[in-house]
Chain A
Amino acid sequence: MRLDGPVEDLLRREAPQVLAALVRRFGRFDLAEDAVQEALLAAAQQWPGDGVPDHPRGWLIRVGSRAVIDALRADSARHAREERDAEQVPTGPAVGHDDSLLLLFLCCHRALSLPSQIALTLRAVGGLSTEEIARAFLVPAATMGQRISRAKAVVATEIGAVGGTPFSIPVGDERDARIAAVLHVLYLMFNEGYVASAGDELVRVDLAAEAIRLARMLHAALPGHGEAAGLLALMLLTEARRPARTTAQGAAVPIAEQDRSRWDRPLIAEGTALVEAAMGGPRLGAYRLQAAIAAVHDEAARPEDTDWPQILALYTLLLRFDDGPLVRLSRAVAVAMVQGPRAGLAEVDALAGDPRLAHNHRLAAVRAHLLELAGDLDGARAAYEEAARITLSTPEQRHLRQRAARLGR
C-alpha cells in the first residue's frame, strides 16, 4: 500500500512511541511488536481513504492494544484485566523522547549478540521490515526473521514477560552503561556500509542513513549527553564525504585523494557545530574526539591544508579513551605527517606483533602508505600486496592492488 511521503514519515516516527506505550501497558515485548505492525498496516489501509486522525498516536495505540488483547485471549485469567486497561484511551501525547530511549535501551541489550542488537534495533526502533533488514545484511529472510524472533524472546524474558515488570529508564551507572551500549550499536550499524547495486530491482536499505536517523533521535532525547552528540557529529562528518569516497567502479578513495568539491558542506557545517558545542561538556570520550578529528579533516579545502598537528594532538588524547591498535595505527599516520614517515613507521613497527591485528589488513596498508611516503617504493608495493591478500573487503582489495600496481617497475 503506497502512502505519500509525510504520512509514511509520520508512521515511522510514531512506531517506536506506540511500541513503547504497548510494552509499558502489557509488558509483552514480542506481542507488542507484532501489534504495532498490525496497527501500521491498518493505518496504511484506512488513512488514505478516511484521512489521518486528529491524534494519530492514540489511534495507533488503540488498534495496537486490541491486537495485543486478541493475542492474549488464550490466557483467560488476564483477559478481563487487560480489557479494562485498554478502555482507557490515551489523551495527550506520551512522553515522546522517553519512549524512544526506552526502546533503544531494550533493543541494545547485553544479553543479545551485537548482530542481534542491530537487527532488533532496526526492526523495533527503525521500523524496517524483516525482508529489508535481511537484504541489508545479505542473509535469507527466514534466517533474519529467526534472529529477530529470538532477540525479541530474550528481551521479553529479560524484562519479565508475564504481567509486565514495570521498567523505566535506568539511572546512574546502569544508565551510562546502557547509553554506551546504544551508541556502540548505532556506530556499528553506521559502519556496516552501504553498497549501491546499480540495476538491482530490490533496493538495499541505506544503513548509514538509518543509523544517522536513530542517532538524531538519541541526541534529541539526550540533549546534554556529549558522547551522543559526538557520535552524531562523527556520523555526519563521515557521511559528508561519501559522495567522494568511491569511484564509479566501487573502489575506495582515500581522504587525501578525494574530490572535495563533492563533499556535503552543509553536513560538514552541522557536524562541526555539533562537536564544537559538545567538546566543552563533561567526561570527554572517544566519539567526540573521533568527531573532532573528522572535523579537522573536513575543514581543509585541500589535503595540503590539513591541520595534522591538531589531528596528532587529538589522536594522542584519544588514546586515553581507546588505546587499541586501530587507533594507534591511525595516529601513526598523523605522526608521519607531522614528524616524517620514518617516525610514523616506528610507531607502526611497534604494533607488528599485536595479536589483535591478526586477520586485519590495516597494519600492512598503513605500512605500505608510509613506506611510499618515505620513498621505499619496493617495500611499499610488497606491503600493499600483502594488505590486498589479507583484506576481507572486495572494494578495498581492488584499491590496494591498484596502489601496488601504480608503484610497478
Chain B
Amino acid sequence: MKYMLLAYSAAQSWDEQTVTAEEIQRICDFYERLQGELVASGEWVGSEGLADPSHTSTIRRVDGVPVTTDGPLVEVKETLVSFSIVDVASRERALEIASQVVAFTGDDCEVRPVMDMSAGPDA
C-alpha cells in the first residue's frame, strides 16, 4: 500500500531565515540516511526535497483564466518542504516512518494514501 508523506515547515522560520545552514545540512543528512534505510528495507518508492519557498510560483484561476504570481500561496502558515512515497505493509508503518521525520526535523507531516489504479474485486 503506497502512502505519500508530506513534510511541512513553519513558513515563518523560512521567511525570517532563522534556519541555519548547519541545520539544513543536518536535515539533509537525515533524509539521506532515511532514504538509504527505506531503499534497503524495500519500502522506498520516491522522495524529493523541494527548493526554498522563494523559488515558488503559484498559479490560480482568476475570472476563468490562470494567473501566475511569484511566491507561495499567500497567508500560508506552513511550507511544503519535501515529500516521499513509500510502499509499506500497513498504515501503521507509514505513520512510524513519518514519526521519525517529525521527531528529527520538528516539521509537521501529513500521511496520505496514494490512489490505486487497480479495480479491486467485483461489486
Contacts and interface: CB of A to CB of B under 8 A. Distances in A.
A397 B115 contact: yes
Residue of B44, B46, B120, B123 contacting most chain A CB atoms (<10 Å): B123
B122 A254 contact: yes
Interface string B84-121: 00011101000000000000000000000111111111
A98 to B, nearest CB: 30
Contacts of B44: 140, 143
A297 B43 CA distance: 39
Given A150-B41, A150-B42, A392-B113, A252 B119 contact: yes
A335 interface: no
Interface residues of B, number: 24
If over half of A's interface residues share one DSSP class (helix, strand or loop), that class is named, otherwise mixed; here it is helix
B45 interface: yes
A396 interface: yes
A147 B42 contact: yes
If over half of B's interface residues share one DSSP class (helix, strand or loop), that class is named, otherwise mixed; here it is loop
A394 interface: yes
A394 B39 contact: no
B94 to A, nearest CB: 12
A29 to B, nearest CB: 17
A119 B45 CA distance: 15
B120 A143 contact: no
Given A193-B120, A194-B118, A245-B122, A139 B41 contact: no
A116 B118 CA distance: 19
A392 B116 CA distance: 6
B40 interface: yes
A369 B122 CA distance: 14
A145 B116 CA distance: 22
A255 B123 contact: yes
A146 B45 contact: no
Interface in A49-69: none
Interface of B: 2, 39-46, 87-89, 91, 113-123
In order of increasing CB-CB distance, the 10 nearest A-B pairs are: A147-B42, A193-B118, A254-B123, A113-B89, A146-B42, A395-B119, A195-B117, A252-B119, A394-B115, A139-B87
Given A393-B118, A394-B116, A397-B115, 13 more contacts: A113-B89, A114-B89, A115-B89, A143-B39, A145-B42, A146-B41, A150-B40, A193-B118, A194-B118, A241-B122, A254-B123, A255-B123, A393-B119
29 contacts: A115-B87, A116-B89, A119-B42, A137-B87, A138-B2, A139-B45, A139-B87, A143-B39, A143-B42, A143-B43, A144-B42, A145-B42, A147-B41, A150-B42, A191-B121, A193-B118, A194-B118, A195-B118, A245-B122, A359-B91, A359-B113, A365-B123, A393-B116, A393-B117, A394-B115, A395-B119, A395-B120, A396-B119, A396-B120
